[in-house]
């Protein structure tokens, strides 16, 4: 069973090559905007944003895209820093 040909432009954005272009662009400069990445990769801004949030698990925080999930080591490091900081301001 095969699908009938569909009208309209075929979907070309969701390719591994495009995802790697976005990732390489992010590695070059973490504080790039979606507009800058879309210009550099010749992709639409909405496609870039979808890649960042859905494929690369990034989430916008403080005007830059960061990983949504922390590792256990990162969580422990943040707890230790907070404890040291509060101990310091308490003295």
Q: What is the pLDDT of residue 83?
A: 93
End-to-end, the C-alpha distance of the chain in Å comes to 74
Q: What is the pLDDT of residue 84?
A: 92
Q: What is the pLDDT of residue 51?
A: 80
Tell me the angle at which helices 16-28 and 34-41 cross, rounded to the nearest 10 degrees.
Answer: 120
**Architecture of the domain defined by 16-90:** Orthogonal Bundle (1.10)
Q: What is the pLDDT of residue 81?
A: 93
Q: What share of the chain is helix, strand, coil (3-state, %, to 5)?
A: 55, 10, 35
pTM of the full predicted structure?
Answer: 0.47
pLDDT tens, position by position, for the chain (91 residues)? 677 877 876 665 556 677 777 777 777 766 777 888 888 888 888 888 888 888 777 776 655 565 667 788 988 999 999 999 989 888 7
Q: What is the pLDDT of residue 76?
A: 92
Q: What is the pLDDT of residue 79?
A: 92
């Amino acid at each position: 069973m095969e699908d009938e040909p569909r009208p309209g432009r075929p979907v070309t954005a969701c390719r591994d090559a495009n995802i790697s272009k976005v990732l390489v662009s992010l590695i070059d400069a973490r504080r790039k905007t979606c507009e800058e990445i879309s210009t550099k990769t010749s992709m639409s801004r909405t496609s870039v944003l979808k890649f960042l949030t859905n494929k690369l698990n990034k989430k916008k925080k403080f005007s830059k895209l960061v990983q949504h999930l922390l590792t256990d080591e990162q969580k422990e490091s943040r707890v230790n820093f907070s404890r040291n900081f509060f101990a310091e301001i308490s003295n």
